[in-house]
Each structure stands twice: as structure tokens, then as C-alpha cells.
Amino acid sequence: MDRRTFLGTVSGATIGLAIPSSLTAPAHARSVRIIRELPSWGEKRTAWTVDDGTSPEAVRRYIRLVAENDLRLTFFVYSAMGSWLANKRELQPLVDSGQIQLANHTAHHPALAGLSTKEIQKELTGAHIFIEKHFGVDARPFYRPPYGSINKKVVNAAAEIGYTMPMLWSGSLGDASNIRSGRLLALAKSSFYDGSIVLAHANNLTAPSIFPRLLKVINGKELQLVTLAEAFDQV
């Protein structure tokens, strides 16, 4: 069992946080749709989305990739990981500028579909409070259910606290755990396309070790990287 899976299995002890009144505004879940691709636009766009952050060094390298190349990236923050605060000094300016978006990936990374409504909301609230307290931004309405574990109960519970945009993905770099660089590059070539939402993970150094080759794939397809907030007009 890899570290990410292990952490997910022990997450049953969800955080004992009361849901703040500011998060209890109801939303109509019937209007919520599960999102896998970007809306169409006049330009060729793709969203590079990076989950978890179990590796502080991987998070650091993603931050520097964005800073050094003037890119756009969305982190889905698994807030129990220490990587976020360990990299706060470099991360905060990019959050403030809008180059990096912080979205909600729960506090402890459980499979949400197996939880009660109250537990789902506590997991999302825990990460929400962390992001707002330490980085000064409201992560709503974007969240990604760990493992893609989502059903009507999850959609309804999340919508009740303002999380109305559940984000899945259209392509993946396959790097939640260790993967060979050649395999990751092959996945990147098929995953990055106009309108794609690409799932990656800051859990190991495979992707960071080939960042120049990944950028070559993106640039070769004449794709513009955008945050999810930019793509869905939430900025």
C-alpha cells in the first residue's frame, strides 16, 4: 500500500469542526454537474491540475515551474499535508497574482461517497478553512473528490456549503504513485488537448524531472494553460 492510499484509509477520523455559518448557504444541487472538460473558447486551452502534495519537493518544483515560465496551474489541496505551509513563502505570491489557484481536495483524502453528509461537509470544510486561514482565499466553488469518488449524496452535501463545481478530469499523468518517466510522457501526449482537464499529483518527482519535455508537449499543441477559475469565469 502506497503512502497516499494509506493516508486515505486512515481518514475515517474526520476533523471535528463545526461548519461555519458562512459555509451554510444552500445551493440547488440539481443545477450542479460533474465537470470533466473545460468550456469551449476561442483559444486552445488546457488546465493542468495537481492534487495531494504528499511530496514537499514536488510541490516546490511545481511552484517554481509556474514562476519561472509564467504559467497557470491549479492545485487541489489535501490540507493535512505539510507541503503547503512548508512552501507558503514561494506559493503565496503566485496565489495572490492568480497564476496558481488553490482548490479543495478535502482535509484527509477519504473516498467521499462512503461518508455521511455530515462527514463529507466536515472534510470539505476542513480544507476550506485551512486554505482561507493560511492563504487568504475562498476555494469555492471548486473541489475534487479524492479517487474521483462521487455520487448524488456527495454532490448535494458539497453544494449545501457552496461547493458547486465538482471537478473530475479528462486525462491523467498517472502519477498518484511512482511511474516511469516514459510512461508519464506518453500519457501527457494523449491527455493535453484543447479543452482538457489534466490530473497530476505532487506526490513524487517523476513529472518534475521531465518538466521541459512536458512543456514541449503543451507548446507543441499550441495550448494555453489556464486555471479552472479563469476557464469558468470565476475570477
Q: What is the pLDDT of residues 76-115, one digit of tens each?
A: 999 999 999 999 999 999 999 999 999 999 999 999 999 9
Q: How many CA within 13 A on the CB side of residue 216? A: 6
- pLDDT grade, residue 5 (50/70/90)? very low
- Integer Cα distance of 59 and 110 in angstroms: 21
Whole-Å CA distances, 35 to 83, 92, 128, 181, 212: 27, 27, 20, 28, 29
- pLDDT grade, residue 150 (50/70/90)? very high
The answer to whether residues 146 and 8 touch, using CB atoms and an 8 Å cutoff, is: yes
- pLDDT grade, residue 234 (50/70/90)? confident
Helices 117-135 & 88-97, crossing angle to 10 degrees? 90
- pLDDT grade, residue 19 (50/70/90)? low
pLDDT higher than threshold 60 for residue 216: yes
- pLDDT grade, residue 116 (50/70/90)? very high
In this structure, what CATH number is given to the domain that contains residue 71? Answer: 3.20.20.370
The size of the chain, in residues, is 235
- Residue 194: what pLDDT? 98
Does residue 130 lie within any of the structural domains?
Answer: yes
The C-alpha cell at 95 is 496565489
- pLDDT grade, residue 31 (50/70/90)? confident
Does residue 15 lie within any of the structural domains?
Answer: no
Q: Is 26 buried (19+), middle (13-18) or exposed (0-12) by CB count in 10 A? A: exposed
Does residue 155 lie within any of the structural domains?
Answer: yes
Does residue 144 lie within any of the structural domains?
Answer: yes
The answer to whether residues 135 and 129 touch, using CB atoms and an 8 Å cutoff, is: no
Containing domain of residue 159, as a range?
Answer: 33-231
Number of domains in the chain: 1
Average pLDDT of the residues of the chain:
91
